[in-house]
Amino acid sequence: MEKQSIILSFRFTGALQQIEAVNFFSEQFKKWFNKSISELNYTITDKSKSSWKQNTKNLKFTDSNVLKFKELLLENKEKIYIDFELLKGLENIVYKSTDIDFSILYNHTETINSLNIILNTALYRNTDWKGFAKEIVHFLNEQSCNILYGFVLNLDNTKLPVFFVEGIGNENLNKKEQEKLFIWSNNKYQCENKIWDIFWGNIITSKHIENTNILNEIEKIVGKENILPLTSNLTWFNLNEPLTDFDITEYSLSRKELYNCFKSKLIS
């Protein structure tokens, strides 16, 4: 069996207060999983000139390095974007891109920002995903971020989940996966009004709902226990099957039925 990762991906507008996010996830991973962050990595993208450049720092997660990061953020220069990653690798790490315990990545762009939480499936498979997602949604709302869309899936590590959710492929994807990724890569900025697909877990807004009956239809398909209002404008629903059984290219009966409910709202 391939090593796998569970990915929670959130798309939103509004800049995240990054030190607040670092503190939040540090506290949450201790509370939920009794785990501590090992590394603080960040990338500075300077777009102030026509030939823009990037600079990446990989640091141990210490109070002094978090303070340095905070001081860097306070400079707040125009057209300079800073992304971060909070990382804990596995004990016997070989490949840093795949041998992770957990990773939290924030990508700051000029339009829609993303927050991706990558977790080792073997270690986190029994997590209360609705509850965990609700905590993150609450935090983003407190930050005055406007959540546009979100999804949760399980993926083989050979397919590089951290890149896959951002629309970046690799040679280990099959034809169906490449086609699906191509659609997302070229149209992900439509996510305010459209969804990429039906995943194991889905976070949608009123803009993704064609008519008022859809939420009732979803409840009939997945069961009341698998649908949850997160806010007045955000709804979570997940497939009534184990997350670890999810395959991005396979469609169970319930996934097909949900797909048909959102046919007019699918990115294509």
pLDDT 10s digit of each residue in the chain, 268 long? 579 999 999 999 998 999 999 999 999 999 999 999 999 999 998 887 777 788 899 999 999 999 999 999 998 777 788 999 999 989 877 676 678 999 999 998 889 999 999 999 999 999 999 999 999 999 999 999 999 999 999 999 999 999 999 999 999 999 999 999 999 999 999 999 999 999 999 999 999 998 878 999 999 999 999 999 999 999 999 999 999 999 999 999 999 999 999 999 999 8
Nearest to 265 by CA among 206, 194, 186: 194
User: How many angstroms separate the CA atoms of 162 and 90, rounded?
Assistant: 16
What pLDDT is attached to residue 54? 84
- Report CA Rg, the chain: 18
What pLDDT is attached to residue 52? 76
- Mapped onto helix, strand or coil, the DSSP state of residue 139 is helix
Strand partners, 75: none
What pLDDT is attached to residue 113? 96
Composition of the chain by helix, strand, coil, percent to 5: 35, 30, 35
